[in-house]
Structure 1
Amino acid sequence: MYDFNFLESLISVSVCQFHTVSVRPAEDVTLMCSNFSKFFSHIFWFKMNSSPNASRISAMFSAESNVSLSDGFHFSKYNITSNITNLFLKIKEVNFSDSGLYFCGQYVTAGEAPVPAVFTATHLQVEDVSDRLLNLPRMILGCVTVFLTVVIVLFEQANLLQNLDPDGLNYAALKSHPKAKNYTGLSDEKELETNVLYAATRETH
């Protein structure tokens, strides 16, 4: 185990890549470390979780050498492989205790003591399935709310159009009806004038 001072010194001499990986419980995950093939020194994997201590997982002299695991880590759970340019750490059937910050790098000489230099840092997050199940009803409720809102808006628009049609017809009928009366009135007046004229003509004769 290594304390937080180890982590500070580890990062202070490093130019590292940082990644975030999310995985579900019981799945396998593979973490990758790169840019170490040109060095021939002690290569390592470290893990740091919520505690202020870092645990060394594995060590190997070079990319082609055999891997040794530290106490508490077993090959049935961890598998380290290499393709010369990259180093891989495979964790099988992860659980919540596997969440944490994983470092990969090598030891470099700084003064009299070797100092670890990090190439890659990966934050592994094992997702909680229960959180997804809790969010599912919220998603369903949101979809139902949107659907009902659309239905209500369409229903109101349909009622509005339905109410406007009879009014338009009544208004058109009211406008055309007086005109019919006016035309009938003029016709009656003309007919009356004609009758009066005819009667006056007969009397003069």
Structure 2
Amino acid sequence: DVTMPCSNLTNMITHIFWYRLTNAESSISCISAMLSSAGNATLYAGFQNGRFTMTSNNSHVFLNIKPVDLSDVGLYFCGCNINNSMDVFNRTYLKMQETLPDSQNTTYMLLGGLIVFLIMVIVALVFKIRSFHTDVPLMSNCQCFHSQSQESDDLNYAAVSFQPRTNRGPGQTCPETGAGPVFWNNWFPC
């Protein structure tokens, strides 16, 4: 429900009115009128459904709408009619915001949490896949050449080629090429 005040009109001995201008209508609708603060309010056609009441407490005039409906949205103003001239004293624009039921709020919260969780899983999988592609490739084909004389100060060169990783069983080793032994570095296991 909503209560709209209109101040300092009850000391006037004149008709006090509440009017409404809605967004859908281009004309002003008279809701209710009161002859004086001690008098009873008169409700006009279209507003006699029990939802609108006009009251006074000797300093303010109030318009109460209970319960408020979406059709009640509009500009409400109060004033008096003196010598066929309408004087407006207070204006109130009533607008409503729809609220979702708690069950829908809970559903949206669950869906939001699920979406965040799935995004985190996708990001983790992307990093895991990317780490497989950026690992140092393993030696699958080793070709090491050993010099005949180990006492020589000459440098020994080894030709190493890297191949994509293949699944090897625990007993398999790299093939040897050349006459000398193959030296393995612990950094590149087969």
TM, length-normalised to structure 1: 0.48
One-letter code aligned to 2:151: E
1:1-205 map, 5 Å: 29-37=1-9, 40=12, 41-49=14-22, 50-74=24-48, 76-83=50-57, 86-96=60-70, 98-107=71-80, 109=82, 112-125=83-96, 127=98, 147-164=117-134, 166-167=135-136, 170=138, 188-189=150-151
More relative contact order in 1 or in 2 (CA 8 Å, sep 6+)?
1
Deviation at 1:157, TM superposition (A): 1.0
d(CA) in 1 for partners of 2:126, 2:16 = 70
Deviation at 1:78, TM superposition (A): 1.4
Contact preservation (8 Å) 2:10, 2:36: no
| Alpha carbons of structure 1 residues 65 and 102: separation in structure 2 relative to 1, 3 Å | farther
d(CA) in 2 for partners of 1:185, 1:60 = 121
Question: Is the partner of 2:67 in helix, strand or coil?
Answer: coil
d(CA) in 1 for partners of 2:132, 2:57 = 73
| Alpha carbons of structure 1 residues 119 and 106: separation in structure 2 relative to 1, 3 Å | same
| Alpha carbons of structure 1 residues 93 and 113: separation in structure 2 relative to 1, 3 Å | closer
Write 1 or 2 for the structure with the bigger share of helix. Answer: 1
One-letter code aligned to 2:87: P
| Alpha carbons of structure 1 residues 60 and 156: separation in structure 2 relative to 1, 3 Å | same
| Alpha carbons of structure 1 residues 30 and 126: separation in structure 2 relative to 1, 3 Å | same
Gaps of 5+ in 1: 1-28, 191-205
Once the two structures are superposed, residues 155-190 of structure 1 have per-residue CA deviations (whole angstroms, 9 ceiling, x without a partner) of 1112223444x517x48xx9xxx8xx99x999x428
One-letter code aligned to 2:131: L
d(CA) in 1 for partners of 2:112, 2:89 = 45
TM, length-normalised to structure 2: 0.51
Q: How many pairs does the alignment contain? A: 143
Gaps of 5+ in 2: 153-190
The corresponding residue for 2:176 is none
Taking only the aligned residue pairs, the percentage that are identical comes to 24
**Considering only aligned residues, what root-mean-square deviation do their CA atoms show, in Å?**
4.3
d(CA) in 2 for partners of 1:108, 1:68 = 15
| Alpha carbons of structure 1 residues 45 and 124: separation in structure 2 relative to 1, 3 Å | farther
Question: Is the partner of 1:93 in helix, strand or coil?
Answer: coil
